[in-house]
């Protein structure tokens, strides 16, 4: 997102929501209409929220708000281990 859009669309007074509409191939839609079926698709929405300036405790606050509003969610545990493998196949 460029700076101009960020200033226009990311103001703090905005209410946020996500609207997801499933789109299907014409063949699938036609077949579903003929068979009187409802098309649906399971999906996962991954959202990353961060405070680059580290001024707020965003992670805990968002988790609490999701719980208060009965959203199904799970926290992702992050491991910051770095493993380096050295091959011992050196020839003298």
Which range is most confident: 42-46, 65-69, 82-86? 65-69
pLDDT band at 81 (very low <50, low <70, confident <90, very high): confident
Mean pLDDT to the nearest integer, 79-92: 70
Assigned domain for 37 exists:
yes
Which single residue is written with the structure tokens 């990311």? 10
Could you tell me if residue 75 is inside a domain? Answer: no
> 20: domain range?
15-68
Q: Is residue 25 part of a domain?
A: yes
Q: What are phi and psi of 43, to 5 degrees?
A: -150, 165
For the chain, report the end-to-end CA distance as a whole number of angstroms. 53
Residue 73 confidence (pLDDT) above 70: yes
CA angle 79, 80, 86 (to 5 degrees): 115
The percentage of the chain sitting over the pLDDT mark of 70, rounded to a whole number, equals 83
Considering the domain boundaries, does residue 83 fall inside one? no
Could you tell me the two tokens for 46? 């991954």
pLDDT at position 46: 80
Q: Quote the number of domains for the chain.
A: 1
């Amino acid at each position: 997102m460029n700076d101009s859009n960020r200033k226009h669309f990311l103001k703090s007074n905005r209410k946020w929501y996500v609207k997801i509409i499933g789109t299907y191939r014409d063949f699938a839609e036609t077949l579903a209409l003929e068979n009187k079926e409802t098309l649906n698709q399971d999906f996962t929405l991954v959202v990353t929220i961060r405070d680059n300036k580290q001024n707020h405790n965003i992670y805990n606050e968002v988790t609490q708000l999701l719980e208060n509003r009965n959203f199904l969610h799970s926290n992702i545990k992050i491991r910051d281990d770095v493993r380096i493998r050295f091959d011992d196949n050196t020839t003298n």
